[in-house]
Structure 1
Amino acid sequence: MDSPIHTANGRPLGAMEQLFWSWDQHCPNHFVLAAEIDTRFSLEQWRQALDSLQVRNPLLGARIVDVASGGARFVPEPELMLPIRIATLGELSWQVEAGRELLEPFDTQTGPLCRLTLLENDQCTIILFIAHHAPLDGMGATRLLDELIQLVCGKSLPPKPAVQAPELMLIDERRLLPTPTLPTNEDFTNLRMITDKPPHLETLTIEAEMTRQLVARCRDEGTTMHGLITAAVLVAGRSLHKEWCERPVRVATPVNIRGLDPSFEDAMGVFMIPARTIEESPQNTQIWPMATALRHELLPYVGREGGLIGLNLLSSVVEPSLSNEGALNLLTSVLPWDLVVTNLGRISFKGEHSAKRVQALWGPMVSSGLSGEQVIGVATLNDVLQLSYTTYQPISGLLTAVEQALKQSLAV
């Protein structure tokens, strides 16, 4: 996908964006980000803010057009209004509402590619920011949430310049580095059956004091919070799920590459590469050695060279002519996974209104459609660690066991 075409009428989908678009046509894989703010605003205020957000980020109101000669591209439609739904918080939990949103697909042929659900009571508002995965990743969604709250609080923000997909922006530098080949893979994972039942969705809060203790211990052990959380999920899952005890567990980690270029920082688009590691030892229950090993396994994917080589690999396997069936084959037989740990890291809002108003953040909540997939979303705000668990085939008691594993990690 190395033909840089970019006009005011939209832009081509990048490699990862095309995969998300193709996979979504087999099984919806849009995502939800949830945030709690300490106040309420009128529908008119939200409408004005969302309209302004769309002007600033035109891809929110885009549709996706499949152009036979050049592949799929985003085409902004300024007249499209992003939907807003308001409901009362308390009649149903926000987790139930988020699960319902994950059942409701986007029509990419007509657009738009984002919507907003607001759950209100007298004390607070839960914002459910729902986005198709082709024009946006989880880190990008946190940036848009920051902008939305600034706008609804009355701040004016200018339009942002459009940014191409990362592999096109960095094409000259990428050409200086090798392109790896995909490993042959005998694994295979079916897609889950599509039903009208929403996914299982639950959350876990690790309070600030314990989170700070975990961060300090990770530093002492030479690992990361991501490595520790992934290890805790593996230890917990193997204590509860027989299948994970009988074979290696395939773990997917979205790796943020927004640091490769300053223009990526606040841009709409998918600025991540998928990393897959395999936990081979079902008997391994030592959390700190596992966390350290997981960190080292991810090192080839991080940093500038790792990100560029990852983009080379994506560009080599995802051509504009890639069929939906070819994309599905990549998901089910080349890159299948059992567990996704998608970590937004330590969130720092740029806007003073966002930093003041946002009390908690959860997500991303998402499902790729693979059978048996377990997805853990991770977000840390004000030193409070929030885990979200999304799956259509839940492992009963998983988050409780994860919390116990994290507590025990501080005792060894």
Structure 2
Amino acid sequence: MRQLHSAVERATAPAGESLPPQEVRPLGAFENLFAAYCEEASATFTLMAELEGDITKVGIRRALDQVQARHPLLAVGIRRNASGRRVFVRSARAIPLKDLPTGAVPWELAAGLEIRRRFDVEAGPLMLASVRFEAKSVRMFFTFHHGIADGLSAAFIIQDFARALSGERLGSFFDAATLDRRLALLPREAPAVPEEAGPTDARGVLDPQALQRWGRGMSAMPIVASHGFARDFTRRLREVARFHDATVHAALSVALARAMGALRPWGRPICVMSPISLRGMLGVEGECGIFIGGGSAALDPAGDSFWDEARKARAALEPFMNNEAAHAMIAGMTAFRDNDDSPAGARAGFAAGFDFDAMLTNLGALPIEARHGRVRIKAVAGPIVLASVQDEHIVGVATLEDEMRLTYTSVAPLSGLLKRVEKKLFEACAGW
């Protein structure tokens, strides 16, 4: 009935008069913060997927169309409505697909170019795709405006893409509910983080210097590097971390801080920011959207015991892994929006809640299947992130079939950082 009504409206509209795009819903607090920030800066991220099988350009186009039909937020743009509120509007455009030349250029260089691509935000869609055919595989780059997706969204979309390539028919999600609304359905818990602290700010103070670091745009070319760990070592790291009452993520955080400290004098603890998935708490699986919180750990790059520091890193993040902390985060973001819904207000929101020396965005063991009929996801790398933060060092981690891959993005990279992270982890696991 709604489709028929829309068709009648189009048929009866005066000649030459275009109808406004159909509104989907207002943006949630986190979505709006990203959208405001991206009006003057960038919060773009890319995941690279290497696939094997009988894959053609026609099949890729068809699979992208099926994925777009499955996820409502892959067919939207962002505009302001008559009330001045940012809303998602329907986009009739297909996900753009770009061919990348085959050659000797490393895929990391291509990724650095991909995260600089611009979106037509009002017209949409807010996902871009690129393909590079290689001798024995195909590399796909899936690039997202951060206002519609988190890193695990991209992983689920890669899985859906592989399923569609294999000939499987995809169902559709008919709901694109906000994190705010889903949180409101959960019972409240005892407060873990004071709401007046801001989004996820352990310090609770807006540092003017931090504010100046955010929103630097995309004037410099980001450099992307990657490094993979053998399956045996990935399993060993998991076992050793468990033995020490820590986590792989905590171990990675400590190794990253120590590697950074070895490459550059800091004279203070290094703040490692960690996005935290809220999907398990919310019961969200397979959907595209923003379902994350975040917390940080201040880590001494010259600390005595690696595993003591790892336990501290784990403990530092635990207060942010509950729905009350998520409520506090959304309350802080809503306050920033109500006070100043401009890019400057968004910069202040991010600086207050998410400022960092390094970001470790770890997707963990990806909750996706690698094999789909005659198509196999051979590798996933990322998230590859451009956050427009001065002196940003962002490491994405994705583990598929026990193969963990680190991807480092920075406009001013520390030479050999990932190799040093590996060395620190090897040393921490020696003798176990």
TM-score, normalised to structure 2, is 0.86
**Range that drifts further, 68-77 or 231-240:** 68-77
Change (3 A) 1:257 1:212: same
Is 1:274 aligned to residue 294 of structure 2? yes
Alignment of 1:176-325 (within 5 A): 178=191, 179-182=195-198, 183-186=204-207, 188-189=209-210, 190-191=213-214, 193-194=216-217, 197-242=220-265, 245-262=266-283, 264-279=284-299, 281-284=300-303, 286-319=305-338, 322-325=341-344
Change (3 A) 1:233 1:53: same
Deviation per residue, 1:28-86 (Å, 9 max, x gap): 11110011111352221111111111111132121101225262111121x20111112
Q: Report if aligned partners of 1:162, 1:267 keep a CA contact under 8 Å in 2.
A: no
Match among 53, 56, 76 for residue 70 of structure 2 = 56
Counterpart residue number, 2:122:
109
Structure number with greater Rg is: 2
Unaligned runs of 5+ in 2: 1-21, 199-203
Distance (whole Å) between structure 2 residues aligned to residue 41 and residue 160 of structure 1: 26
**Range that drifts further, 57-66 or 301-310:** 301-310
Deviation per residue, 1:86-139 (Å, 9 max, x gap): 224433111111100111121212211011111112300111111111000001
Distance (whole Å) between structure 2 residues aligned to residue 121 and residue 49 of structure 1: 19
Counterpart residue number, 2:415:
396
Distance (whole Å) between structure 1 residues aligned to residue 420 and residue 217 of structure 2: 28
Counterpart residue number, 2:7:
none
Counterpart residue number, 2:131:
118
Change (3 A) 1:348 1:266: closer
Shift of 1:176: 6.7
Change (3 A) 1:89 1:403: farther
Is 1:145 aligned to residue 166 of structure 2? no
The 3-state SS of whatever aligns with 1:266 is coil
The 3-state SS of whatever aligns with 1:139 is helix
Q: Report if aligned partners of 2:37, 2:215 keep a CA contact under 8 Å in 1.
A: no
Shift of 1:290: 1.1
Q: Report if aligned partners of 1:250, 1:337 keep a CA contact under 8 Å in 2.
A: yes
Distance (whole Å) between structure 2 residues aligned to residue 210 and residue 355 of structure 1: 29
Aligned Cα root-mean-square deviation (Å): 2.4
- Opposite residue 170 of structure 1, the aligned amino acid is L
Is 1:376 aligned to residue 395 of structure 2? yes
Counterpart residue number, 1:385:
404
Q: Report if aligned partners of 2:186, 2:323 keep a CA contact under 8 Å in 1.
A: no
**Range that drifts further, 249-258 or 352-361:** 352-361
Alignment of 1:299-378 (within 5 A): 299-319=318-338, 322-332=341-351, 335-350=354-369, 352-353=371-372, 357-378=376-397
Counterpart residue number, 2:96:
83
The 3-state SS of whatever aligns with 1:170 is helix
Distance (whole Å) between structure 1 residues aligned to residue 121 and residue 373 of structure 2: 30
Q: Report if aligned partners of 2:218, 2:388 keep a CA contact under 8 Å in 1.
A: no
Change (3 A) 1:10 1:166: same
Q: Report if aligned partners of 2:189, 2:323 keep a CA contact under 8 Å in 1.
A: no
The 3-state SS of whatever aligns with 1:103 is coil
Change (3 A) 1:332 1:214: same
- Opposite residue 55 of structure 1, the aligned amino acid is A
Unaligned runs of 5+ in 1: 1-7
Q: Report if aligned partners of 1:36, 1:126 keep a CA contact under 8 Å in 2.
A: yes
The 3-state SS of whatever aligns with 2:168 is coil
Q: Report if aligned partners of 1:71, 1:321 keep a CA contact under 8 Å in 2.
A: no
Shift of 1:192: 6.9
The 3-state SS of whatever aligns with 1:389 is strand
Shift of 1:215: 0.5
Change (3 A) 1:191 1:348: closer
Q: Report if aligned partners of 1:349, 1:355 keep a CA contact under 8 Å in 2.
A: no
Is 1:17 aligned to residue 31 of structure 2? yes
Distance (whole Å) between structure 2 residues aligned to residue 201 and residue 268 of structure 1: 25
Distance (whole Å) between structure 1 residues aligned to residue 325 and residue 85 of structure 2: 27
Change (3 A) 1:135 1:218: same
Identity %: 27
Q: Report if aligned partners of 1:138, 1:364 keep a CA contact under 8 Å in 2.
A: yes
Shift of 1:313: 3.9
TM-score, normalised to structure 1, is 0.90
Q: Report if aligned partners of 2:29, 2:333 keep a CA contact under 8 Å in 1.
A: yes
- Opposite residue 183 of structure 2, the aligned amino acid is L
Change (3 A) 1:122 1:112: same
Shift of 1:371: 0.5
Deviation per residue, 1:160-193 (Å, 9 max, x gap): 1213111123325466765343312336232475
Distance (whole Å) between structure 1 residues aligned to residue 93 and residue 371 of structure 2: 30
Shift of 1:289: 1.2
Q: Report if aligned partners of 2:41, 2:216 keep a CA contact under 8 Å in 1.
A: no
